[in-house]
Chain A
Amino acid sequence: MRRPPRPWLPAPLSALAVAAAVAVASVAGCGGRPDVWNGTPTPIGSYGLTTAVAVLDPPANRVVLLTPGNDQSLSATTLPVGHNVVSAAASPDLGKLLVLSAGHRATIGDSQPNEVPSLTVIEPTASPPSRRYDLGVLSGPVSGLAIDPVENRFVVLYAGTSSGTSFVENPNEIVIVDLTQPPATATPVDYTLHSVGGSPARFDFTRPLNIAGFSTPQRLLIVESTQDLALLRLDDPTHSETSVPLTSSTDTRRLVPAGITVDAGDPVAGDARVGVRVMNDSTVITLDLTADAPATGLSITPNLADVGGIPSDIAFVHSNATTLRLAALVPSTGKAVLVDPLTSLTVPVALPGAYQSLSLVQTAATPATAPAADTALLWNGLQTADGAAFWDLGAAVKQPYSSIQTIGLQTQISGVLDVPASSANDGMLKVLQTRTSSAFYVLDLGTRTAAPLNTSGGDISLRVSPLGDYVWSFVAGTANVAATNFGMMHPHPLIMERAVSEVYEVSRGAGVNPAAIILHDYGDLGATVFDAATLDDQTRRLYSGILLGGL
């Protein structure tokens, strides 16, 4: 027979406990902690800037700026950002982090106040390090963010693909923010692109272009939509739009832009051009630019050329100091095609492999280090044996290029990373990522050699030091991290107690060795900080629970 349960406390104590519980409940009802403590800090985003690592902590509506100091110290500075972060990106010069927030629309009874969408600019070297642009001009929250890579000055905000927060949104509405304007007096430009049915897919900011009819070089914003192009002068975007519908010359298809390339043109001739390739046709288009009559917009003359297959990459190249060609890679034919932008005449060039990507590694515009003709690196072949090849575009007898020299890499190159010039290299190095990730290569453009660095694990990630001294290699989720010095090509494995998620090299100022900040993105975020010059295990410092602080 089951015994009746015994009271867990004698009656007097039970009464006492009840009384105390009432007291505790009355106290507990007085308040609670902020909600941020009740969740987890994921997902975070981390961004390596020149002097700090910025960690985006959306649940806390903040950015935590990790700034290295002496003795591998790491100071964490909390900078608030707008509510409901929708996107963030570092500027190409690594000087700023831009955080776009949707804000909050308060309903009746909402304790959280109303907040308009905003763009927060985190700039560690500025004072104050954070400034916020309120975007009341936006009719609704947007998630697209494009940053000017040339001057790191303009930002374009657009609907993007992941906003989905508005009942009705205008995909062609863009807002251009000039980051040189202080937030208090900034006048973001709200503009709707003329559209024939498409919506923006990519934004390209050109360097200054020499365009006939304009007294000064003009910077353009080129908007690639799903079926046309729009060109705007960044000096006057609302009055200078020129739309270029893309149609096939043989049928009614709408051509979808797949990428552009720009030639700045001659300062005297003012013959700047834009080259366009499309996803669904073998036509490449060159657009000759001149100013229109009132010199506000652009007058565009398109030239079409059939390259025999859908091109995978294009670039303007110089065969000599004065001869310009549009080079298009056509992997389906295993050829490159050189297009004369003036006549649209094409010259096919047989390649040793079906390369899909082209990078100009030496240009005629840098005469101090380069010959008069450009050299292109061909990579990302369709076949494993394609490896990579140098394509010298100097003129030669009976052929429109000088030579093609393959590099004996029995692997597919999936990426080419630039290496900044430093004391450890002369600016002639590139890091080649491979598709299998079982090895990577350091390519010396001067000697045209590629030094292999084999790895024991797959899925390797590579980060080139912004200071140009190391290539950092690691496998996310493991403790495998190594630094390879460009001077000696000596891999230095690091002792790592915790799984790695990202590696950054950060300046600590002039005269001080840079710091390597290795993030461990789980829990509440950890970090290991090394002196990046010595990589001394004994002086490294380990940080834990970083995102618990500053709340």
Chain B
Amino acid sequence: MTPRPHLLAAALAAATLSAAGTASGQVPEVYAQTPAPGATPAEVPQVPSVPSVPAPMPGVPPNQMPVVPAAGYPPMPAMPAMPAVVEEAPRPPRRPRVDSWQAMIGLRAALIRSTGFDPFSNQDGVAAVALSFSRVLLRQDRLALALGLDFNYGGSSTNARGAPSSLGLTRGSLLIEGRYAFAPRLYGFLRATPGVLYLSASIQDPTAPSQQIGGTTPLTDSATVPAVDGSVGAAVGLAPRTSPVGAWILAQGGYGWAASHDLVLAPQLGGPDQSKIAPVALGSLSASGPFLVVSFALSF
């Protein structure tokens, strides 16, 4: 482990000063003494006045004249003593944080290429809020295995051929995560989240009948399908090691798979009227695709 710069500088300065003190002998008492508390200026030992500069020697340039201590001139004092330098004891290896619990909140951006997604988004992307809570169950040196729960809620809304449309995607999963600590404030992870995806689609077509005179009922469909995410990511610590709570920035990318669902939308009128309502099929929607998550986590 590389020492931190300011510690290294302090150590170097201490070593230099220690060597200088050894070479110059004893520290003059005048510097070694400490004024007694309450002493008056007259009681403070006085430093002799500096004598005048000696006269130039004939035939010798001033800058080549030997330097001779003038009579009564005290010897060159040593540097003042630094605070006592204690040689650092060998540090134990820097271990990663050993927090067991982690709570994370983040934003997820996913790419969905399915044509069934077209009525609900101008683009092929969907954003979601990602939440997870996990606990480290096994730890082996720099490796750790965490289990937890993962929850994503996102969606998209736009107009489908002039009709307001929206699609909600809610994902609930078991979180299985393996971590490797590269450094106390840096670890990488592999994550798998098997679970389910609940999707709810809605289109406000004005031709949809309603039980209210002149009103419309949205065309809706919903389904719960199996889903699993696989991702790889890294986390960087923000808080000092001494902090009781760890703070992390995480980034991960991966691929989310979800079973396809045939979208069949119909107004939900209920009762005997429902039998008069026919649905409209919009094709198959598959919410599978690559995704990125940027998140913030606290560990403790």
Q: Report whether chain A binds chain B.
A: yes
Interface residues of A (CB under 8 A from B): 12-13, 16-17, 19-20, 23-24, 26-28, 30-34, 36-41, 73-74, 497-498, 520, 522-526, 529, 538, 540-551
Nearest B residue to A18 via CB reads B294
A498 and B207 within 8 A (CB): yes
Closest to B295 in A: A16
Q: Mark B284-300, 1 if CB is under 8 A from A, else 0.
A: 00000000101110000
Q: Which residues of B contact A13 (CB under 8 A)?
A: 296
**Could you say which residues of chain A place their CB within 8 Å of the CB of B121?**
33
A544-B161 contact given A12-B296, A13-B296, A34-B118, CB 8 Å threshold: no
What is the chain A residue whose CB lies nearest that of B211? A497
Instruction: Jot down 9 A-B pairs with beta carbons below 8 A, ordered by A.
Output: A12-B296, A16-B106, A27-B125, A33-B117, A33-B123, A523-B163, A524-B207, A525-B207, A542-B276
The answer to whether A523 touches B162 (Cβ under 8 A) is yes
Tell me the complex Cα distance, A229–B67, Å: 133
Which of B111, B125, B209 is in CB contact (< 8 Å) with A544? B209
Given A24-B127, A31-B123, A36-B161: A545 in contact with B109 (beta carbons within 8 A): no
With A36-B161, A524-B163, A526-B208 in contact, do A545 and B280 touch (Cβ < 8 Å)? yes
B256-288 vs A, Cβ < 8 Å mask (1 yes, 0 no) = 000000000111000000001110111100000
How close is B35's CB to chain A, nearest CB, in angstroms?
50
- Knowing A498-B207, A544-B267, the reply to whether A37 touches B106 (Cβ < 8 A) is no
Map CB proximity to A onto B123-142 as digits: 1 under 8 Å, 0 otherwise: 11101000000000000000
- The chain A residue sitting closest to B267, CB to CB, is A544
- The answer for the CA separation of A538 and B160 in the assembled complex, in Å, is 31
**Minimum distance in angstroms from A22 CB to a CB of chain B:** 8
Check B205–A524 contact: CB distance below 8 A.
yes
Q: How far is the CB of A521 from chain B (nearest CB, A)?
A: 9
The CA of A91 and the CA of B134, in the complex, are separated in Å by: 69
Other-chain contact of B205, A17, A34, A73, A523 (Cβ < 8 Å): A523
CB–CB A541/B162 < 8 A: no
* Complex Cα–Cα for A544 and B221 (A): 14
Contacts of B123 in A (CB 8 A): 27-28, 31-33
Tell whether, in the assembled complex, residue A548 and residue B160 are in contact, meaning their CB atoms are under 8 Å apart. yes
The yes or no answer to B185 lying at the interface (CB within 8 A) is: no
Q: How far is the CA of A551 from the CA of B106 in the complex (A)?
A: 34
C-alpha gap A523/B219 in the complex (Å): 13
Besides A17-B107, A36-B161, 5 other CB < 8 A contacts? A16-B296, A20-B108, A544-B205, A544-B207, A548-B160
- Interface Cβ pair total, 8 Å cutoff: 141
Q: Nearest Cβ in chain B — how far from A317, in angstroms?
A: 49
A23 touches B109 (CB 8 A): yes
Contacting residues, chain A, for B281 (C-beta < 8 A): 549
> What residues on B are CB-neighbors of A24 within 8 Å?
107, 109, 125, 127
Interface size class of B (residues with CB under 8 A): 35 or more
How distant is B251 from chain A, measured CB to nearest CB, in Å?
8
Q: In the complex, A26 Cα to B253 Cα: how many Å?
A: 13
Provide the main secondary structure of the chain B interface.
strand
CB nearest neighbor in B for A15: B249
Q: Are B127 and A20 touching (Cβ within 8 A)?
A: yes
Contact of B209 among A34, A497, A551 (CB under 8 A): A497
**Once the chains bind, are B119 and A548 in contact (CB under 8 Å)?**
yes
CB-defined contacts of A33 to chain B, threshold 8 Å: 117-118, 121-124
A256 to chain B, nearest CB (A): 44
B280 near A549 (CB under 8 angstroms)? yes
**Assembly CA distance A12 to B160 (angstroms):** 36
Which residues on B sit within 8 Å (CB–CB) of A37? Answer: 118-119, 122, 160-161
- Find the residue from B113, B115, B160, B207 having the highest chain A CB count within 10 A: B207
Judge whether B206 is part of the interface by a CB distance below 8 angstroms.
yes
Q: Give the distance in Å from the alpha carbon of A32 to the alpha carbon of B132 in the complex.
A: 30
Across the interface, do A548 and B294 meet the contact criterion of CB distance under 8 Å?
A: no
Q: A33-B118, A36-B161 are in contact. Are A498 and B209 (CB under 8 A)?
A: yes
On whether A545 and B203 interact (CB within 8 A), knowing A20-B127, A28-B124, A37-B160, the answer reads yes
- Cβ of B228 within 8 Å of any chain A Cβ, yes or no, is no
Chain B residues near A19: list those with CB within 8 A.
107, 251, 294
Verify if B147 is at the interface (C-beta below 8 Å from A). Answer: no
Q: Which residues of the partner chain B approach A32 to less than 8 Å between Cβ atoms?
A: 122-124
- CB within 8 Å of A: which of B95-124? 106-111, 113, 115, 117-119, 121-124
A540 proximity list for chain B (CB < 8 A) = 276
Residue of A nearest to B208 (CB): A544
Q: How far is the CA of A551 from the CA of B296 in the complex (A)?
A: 40
Minimum distance in angstroms from B117 CB to a CB of chain A: 8
B125: chain A residues at CB < 8 Å are: 24, 27-28, 30
Q: In the complex, A27→B14 CA distance in Å?
A: 55
Give the distance in Å from the alpha carbon of A16 to the alpha carbon of B281 in the complex. 39
List A contacts of B207 (CB < 8 A).
Answer: 498, 520, 522-526, 544-545
Q: Hey, which chain A residues are within 8 Å of B283, CB to CB? A: 549-551
